[in-house]
Amino acid sequence: MTSTQTFPVGGLPLLRSLAENWWLLLLRGIAAVAFGILAIIWPGHTLLALIYLYGAYALVDGIFALGAAIFGHSGGMVPRWWLAVIGVIGILAGLVAFALPGMTAVILLLLIASWAIIVGVLEVIGAIRLRKEIEGEWWLIISGLLSIAFGVILFVRPGSGALALIWVIAIYAILAGASLIGHAFRLKNFKQSA
C-alpha cells in the first residue's frame, strides 16, 4: 500500500491544502537554510542582528508598558507604578542595546552564564537529595555539572560563548530548513497523485 493510498488527498482538507501550497513550505525551508548558512559565514553580523532585534523588542515592550501605566485604568491586577517601572527599564534596555551592542551582548551572555551555573548547582543539590528516593540520580548530577561547566566557560570566554550560541542557532536553522524542504517535496508528491 503506497502512502497516497494510506492518506488520500481528497479525503483530508488540511492535507489537500498543504499539498496545494507545498511551495510555501519549500520557500520557508530554503529561507531557514540560507539564514543558517549566513549565520555561520557571518557570525558577527548575526549576533549584531539578534542584539538589535532584542533592543527593538525591549523598546517596544517598554513603550507599551509605560503607555499602559499612563493611560490604563487603575484598579487592575498590576499596579500602575509597576507598569511604569517595567516600561522605563524596557525603554532603557532597548536604547542601551542600540547604543552599545557590544556591551549588550556581553551582559546577555553573563546573564545566561549566571543562569546556567545556578540551575546546575540546583540540579546537583536536587540529585544528592533524591539519591535515596530514585535510581539513576547521576544523570541529574551530570546535567548539573554540564550546566555549571557551560556557565563557567561563558564567564571565562564570553566571545567564544557568543560564537557558540550563533552556531547553535545556525545549525538548528539548517536542520529545520532541510526538514521543511523534505516535507515540501513529500507534499508535492501528494498533490501530483490527487
In a domain, residue 13? The reply is no
> Cell numbers at residue 42, please?
557571518
Q: Is the pLDDT of residue 5 over 50?
A: no
In a domain, residue 36? The reply is yes
Is the distance from CB of 97 to CB of 146 less than 8 angstroms? no
In which band, very low, low, confident or very high, does the pLDDT at 173 lie, cut at 50, 70 and 90? very high
In a domain, residue 43? The reply is yes
In a domain, residue 92? The reply is yes
In a domain, residue 8? The reply is no
Determine the average pLDDT of the residues in 143-150.
Answer: 91
Q: Is the pLDDT of residue 72 over 80?
A: no
In which band, very low, low, confident or very high, does the pLDDT at 139 lie, cut at 50, 70 and 90? confident
The length of the chain is 194
* pLDDT one-digit tens code per residue, 28-63: 999 999 999 999 999 989 989 989 998 999 999 999
Q: How far apart are the first and last CA of the chain?
A: 16
Sequence letter at residue 101: P
In a domain, residue 164? The reply is yes
In a domain, residue 62? The reply is yes
> pTM of the prediction?
0.62
Supply the range of the domain harboring residue 141: 22-193
Q: Is the pLDDT of residue 2 over 50?
A: no
pLDDT of residue 191: 66
In a domain, residue 10? The reply is no
In which band, very low, low, confident or very high, does the pLDDT at 193 lie, cut at 50, 70 and 90? low
Q: Is the pLDDT of residue 14 over 80?
A: no
Sign of CA dihedral 131, 133, 137, 141: negative
In which band, very low, low, confident or very high, does the pLDDT at 3 lie, cut at 50, 70 and 90? very low
* pLDDT one-digit tens code per residue, 55-67: 999 999 999 999 9
Nearest to 97 by CA among 157, 41, 47: 47
pLDDT of residue 56: 94
Query: In total, how many domains does the chain have?
Result: 1
Is the distance from CB of 37 to CB of 170 less than 8 angstroms? yes
